[in-house]
Amino acid sequence: MGDVSIERLVLKLHEVSGVKFGEYKLKSGLLTPIYIDLRVLVSHPALMNQVSGLLYQRVQDECLQFDSLCGVPYTALPLATIICSRHELPMLIRRKEAKDYGTKRMVEGSFRQGDTCLIIEDTVTSGSSILETAEVLYKEGLKVTDAVVLMDREQGAAEMLASRGIRLHSLVSMFKLLEVLQAADRVDGKTAQSVKTFILDNNTFSRKDDNGNAFPATKKACVERSVELSYADRAKLPNVHPLASRLLASMEAKQSNLCVSADVTSSQELLRLADSLGPAICALKTHVDILEDYTAAFSRDLQALAEKHNFLVFEDRKFADIGNTVKHQYEGGLYRISSWSHMVNAHAVPGPGVVKGLSAVGKPLGRGCLLIAQMSSEGSLATGEYTQAVLKMAEEQSDFVIGFICGSKITKRPEFIHMTPGVQMQAGGDGLGQQYTTPEEVLYRKGSDVIIVGRGILEAPDRLKAAESYRKSGWEAYTKRLGQ
């Protein structure tokens, strides 16, 4: 979705009085110097079609999965209707009040218990209108994980909805709208600044501590940005896998997003690494099949060190066979990987059966799987449509898949963890196809969650010092991303 399309949309909305400056009272009771009145869209069919098209494009860009679509009454109803009619999607209608005759239903349309419904809305301030619709849908046995909105006033809706397990995807933010209008001389600097001040001073969402006491609402930075949840916040989301929650909580507690790739051939050397680097890492990645002296005692000792230092063990097995075969590879054989490794990874090439086979063994044990969506080697074929197919597979089996091995963030769904290999302090390559990227690039610019570092630490004169350097660099890049 290009900036040009959004800018043209903003200017057109202003032309038809969809954006007004003055003093207006919002549903929340706040008096605002700007009012977004998108009810005028019904009188401008071409513009309404444009808005509907951009909303659906955002749905596709985010790869959202849903069974039906519901527009918040009343302004979003025609938008939802156009989207569903044009793309032949099932639609539900939420009534604002129940009829006292007929079926007396609050939700009209055909659906099944457990279906996921995507909510469409025109504009949000606090997010209460979306939440009200979601609660009606919940009572009918439906699930709501995402909402797409044309205009986000950036006053706490995204944060509030995220706290309730609903991700908000907006086309236009208030600061972007002001930027476009000011650049086109549609609003003067003084008015734009008064609106920005109002937005910053009137965040409607307050977090609560463990005792239920509200923290003061936080002010937004005066720049356009998408909501970035902290590791700690993501660990508490209702849809997050328990193992992912454990990893995120550990990362927050240890202030570490570093996973060390312990590619050594001696069991004792690997255990020494785990013990010495354990306090600085959130995960330890192993290649158990390169150990020359593996024993069952080794796996027990590794589990004890993981418990001692609060990190997860990740066996980089890269399962890539049919379900029945990977099931035996995971639970049996010499290594009995499922008995000691918290996480494993798998290629999606065999199809969903590979995950089902692993899940049959790992799910009862509380294990998790990372799907390989992208690779750090030069010429990798894991790109484009393949990556999107991996994402879909993960979403369909999120009771076992906790995230991805990837070069950059591939989904905005905060319950999935992105882990990126091929990280060193200096970008470049090794002559054998491995491409290296810096912690700053991976965590700050590409939005990943965990850096996987091997040779940058193992080949250092002082491994502990090197690990601490990567831990610090990774954490600084993450906090920079949070504060942008």
For 78-97, b/e burial (b = at least 16 CB within 10 A) is: bbbbbbbeeeebebbebeee
Strand partners, 343: 314, 368
Secondary structure (H, E, C), 70-138: EECCCCHHHHHHHHHHHHCCCEEEECCCCCCCCCCCCEECCCCCCCEEEEEEEEECCCHHHHHHHHHHH
State yes or no: is 392 an active-site residue.
no
Cβ atoms of residues 143 and 149 within 8 Å:
no
Measured CA to CA, the distance from residue 78 to residue 40 in angstroms comes to: 12
State yes or no: is 318 an active-site residue.
yes
State yes or no: is 321 an active-site residue.
yes
215, amino acid identity? F
Active site residue: 321, 363, 412, 446, which one? 321
DSSP 255: T
330, amino acid identity? Y
Active site residue: 122, 301, 316, 449, which one? 316
Backbone angles phi, psi at 375, to 5 degrees: -130, 155
Residue with tokens 């000691």: 340
Cβ atoms of residues 1 and 176 within 8 Å:
no
With 0-12 / 13-18 / 19 or more C-beta atoms within 10 angstroms meaning exposed / middle / buried, residue 389 is middle
Active site residue: 12, 318, 356, 472, which one? 318
CA distances from 154 to 125, 440, 445 (A): 7, 27, 22
Cβ atoms of residues 178 and 223 within 8 Å:
no
Question: How many residues appear in the chain?
Answer: 484
Residue with tokens 């898949």: 401
DSSP string, 411-470: ---TTSEEEE--B-SS-EE-SSSBEEB-HIIIIIIS--SEEEESHHHHTSSSHHHHHHHH
Q: Would you name the residues annotated as active-site residues?
A: 316, 318, 321
